[in-house]
């Protein structure tokens, strides 16, 4: 789990979530928006594509936004790491090309939290009124 905190006035919180949703769609992700028990917002994110799932390149993440005063905590957790590990291990023995695609999928997923945090920081810096 990755977590970062950002200065985010209450008035920007919903706009931040909407902006993140739009950014994810532009990046080719599907998402589902849910409310957590702690009144946070959960975006369950997945890069769709049946063939990507079959060869171990699918990416799935959970992004949780939680507003506390003028701070938003953003926590990102990975979804399908186990699939990549299994595909990678089997493909090394049977189908070595799948090992390459499994590795690419894991690399793409590992870079996503950093890219999401960059989007959030950029959005908030463009709307910073202080």
Q: CATH class for domain 2-126?
A: alpha beta
DSSP-assigned states of every residue in the chain = -EEEEEE--HHHHHHHHHHHHHHHHHTTEEEEEEE-TTS-EEEEEEE--HHHHHTT---EEEEEEEEETTEEEEEEEES-HHHHHHHHHHHHHS-HHHHHHHHHHHHHHHHHHHHHHHHHHHHHHHT---
- For the entire predicted model, the pTM comes to 0.70
What is the reported pLDDT for 79?
56
Q: What is the pLDDT at residue 88?
A: 42
Chunk the chain into consecutive blocks of 10 residues (it has 130) and report each block's average pLDDT, rounded to whole numbers: 91 96 92 88 79 51 93 83 42 47 49 91 84
Please state the domain extents for the chain: 2-126
Instruction: Encode pLDDT of 98-122 as tens digits.
Output: 444 444 445 455 678 999 999 999 9
- pLDDT of 126: 93
């Amino acid at each position: 789990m990755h977590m970062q905190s950002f200065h985010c006035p209450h008035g920007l919180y919903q706009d931040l979530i909407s902006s993140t949703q739009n950014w994810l769609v532009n990046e080719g992700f599907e998402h589902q928006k849910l409310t957590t028990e702690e009144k946070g917002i959960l975006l369950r994110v997945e890069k769709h594509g049946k063939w990507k799932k079959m060869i171990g390149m699918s990416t799935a993440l959970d992004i949780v936004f939680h507003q506390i005063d003028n701070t938003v905590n953003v926590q990102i957790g990975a979804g399908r790491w186990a699939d990549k590990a299994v595909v990678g291990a089997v493909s090394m023995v049977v189908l070595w090309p799948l090992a390459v695609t499994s590795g690419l999928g894991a690399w793409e997923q590992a870079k996503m939290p950093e890219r999401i945090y960059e989007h959030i920081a950029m959005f908030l810096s463009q709307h910073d009124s202080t």
